[in-house]
Amino acid sequence: TTLTAKLKGSLSARVLEAIGAASRKMEELGMDSSTVMLTDVGSQIDAVVAKAEEAAKAEKKHLHAWSTCGGERVMMWTPAVLLCEVCEYVIADLQGKMATASIEADEIAAALKAAAMHINNVHYVLCAEAGERRESSNDGTGHAVRDKGRHGEKLENFTEMPEATECSLLMVEVASLRLYTTSTYTLINGPLRSSGSKTVAELKASPHPLAVTTHYITNGLKKMRALNFRTFTKASQGKDSIIDEADAPPASSPTGAAGATASATAGDMAGGMAGGMAG
């Protein structure tokens, strides 16, 4: 059996149920819920699940065995774990907001907008064609061009890039790294930064909400940094001086999305993302 078959319809239904409850609460608090654009959320979730289902039927190399809460072993197209974790986070976050007695309408609106944004990011990385788009920068202080220089590449194309194949990046690692360069990076960094003040018992009781995605980001970064090290070492052989910019690897990188441009090298991407996670 496949996990995607079990998720078909049910995952989007659960997310939409949480969104509906939050929207009704907004109305009760006097704010028009139609101000939050959520029309594509369900269809985007279903599109990812449909792609995962087709991938599970067509190939084996990107499948992974997962254990459900009931202990059943199922197979899933591994990149779909990004959708599962983000959706579970969205549901938990909205339910948590609803359980807060002093919640304000604008706080619910912000949570709904964030939910739509994160699901849109996952859909874009897993299903959509890459293309340039001007949008707000991740720090909210300006604008950036998402996927600058891209022309319709899909996740499969990024996975087949020489930079990805040379360091043996899995498709799920490429997807996780690309998701991390979008505004969804906050779901990765936030729990990591707050974990420093928690005890081991507290960490076990409240694991990272995107634990598997974070695992694949970490693995992908290690592979990219190893490739970058080998590239720079080879370029510096026979030289007495420190490596300069001219020795950098080719500019194309399989991972750059909203937060990085096509001009970033694999080393820049790995170093920058590693710094973000460590921070």
pLDDT in tens, 173-224: 999 999 999 999 999 998 888 776 777 777 677 788 899 999 999 999 999 8
Alpha helices in the chain (DSSP H): 3-7, 10-28, 41-58, 80-98, 105-126, 155-159, 162-166, 171-180, 185-194, 200-205, 211-236, 266-278
More confident residue, 277 or 180: 180
H or E element, residue 147: strand 143-151
The predicted structure's pLDDT at residue 8: 63
Q: In this predicted model, what pLDDT tens digit does every residue of 48-66 receive, in sequence order?
A: 988 888 887 776 667 766 5
- The least confident of 15-19, 90-94, 206-210, 227-231 is 227-231
* 230: Cβ contacts below 8 Å, ≥ 6 apart: none
Per domain, the residue ranges of the chain are 1-128, 147-279
More confident residue, 276 or 163: 163
Q: Report CA 55 to chain centroid distance, whole Å.
A: 19
**What SS3 state is found at 148?**
strand
Cα–Cα distance between 168 and 54 in angstroms, integer? 23
The predicted structure's pLDDT at residue 188: 92
Q: Is the pLDDT of residue 251 over 50?
A: no
Cα–Cα distance between 179 and 126 in angstroms, integer? 9
Share of the chain above pLDDT 70, in %: 71
The predicted structure's pLDDT at residue 141: 81
The predicted structure's pLDDT at residue 245: 36
Q: In this predicted model, what pLDDT tens digit does every residue of 17-46 receive, in sequence order?
A: 999 999 999 999 998 888 787 778 999 999
Q: Is the pLDDT of residue 249 over 70?
A: no
The predicted structure's pLDDT at residue 220: 94
Model confidence at 3, in pLDDT bands (50, 70, 90)? low
Cα–Cα distance between 242 and 276 in angstroms, integer? 25
Cα–Cα distance between 18 and 182 in angstroms, integer? 24
Amino acid at 127: C
More confident residue, 227 or 211: 211
Q: How much is the pTM?
A: 0.78
The predicted structure's pLDDT at residue 243: 33
Instruction: Answer whether 15's CB lies under 8 Å from 42's CB.
Output: yes
